[in-house]
Structure 1
Amino acid sequence: MGNTKPYEDRIRASIIEQFDGLETRDEAIRFANYAITALKSTAGDPLTLDNAEQYVPLLAQLVHQETHSIYGSGVFDYPKWKAAADARRHLGQN
């Protein structure tokens, strides 16, 4: 159980890294915290690397929506397969 917080922190840091600069740092942190909360509420707390595959669809959806909310759906082509790949990277599944 002691290893779950570092895993959660790693996911959060990876998400912040993706969005920092596209949004303000505060917005990137706020989104990362929202994503972690959403994952924990649907997948269960604690988040673990062993169960990371089950988190991919939800995190991909959240990352996809956030990216499109920044750029607008017609401005930036960020396909769902790319969002899934980014979610896997955030979750340490690459």
Structure 2
Amino acid sequence: MCKKLHVKGITQSGNTVNIEMNSGNDLNQELIGYLIENYNAKIKFDVSKVPMIKYKLDSSEQMKILEELERFFEILNNYKTGLNACQGGKNEQN
């Protein structure tokens, strides 16, 4: 799924996951607005040199991290393909 979403790399620092995108074109204003609306305090963006999404995790337990990231990438994929990204409304983890 990461390849499909143009994710170049994923790193973790503490309870933050850095999602590096292939290019700035992969983080357009509409997508950034959508993610801020649904993830508010959990998400930040760095588009200076390398376009990056910084996602704050709810838990540091490895299995929960994988589940949380899987949900995030699924919502991102649904948004990019025009599907109803958050079928249950905004992210319940806010």
Shorter-chain TM band: 0.3 to 0.5
TM-score (norm 2): 0.38
User: More helix by proportion, 1 or 2?
Assistant: 1
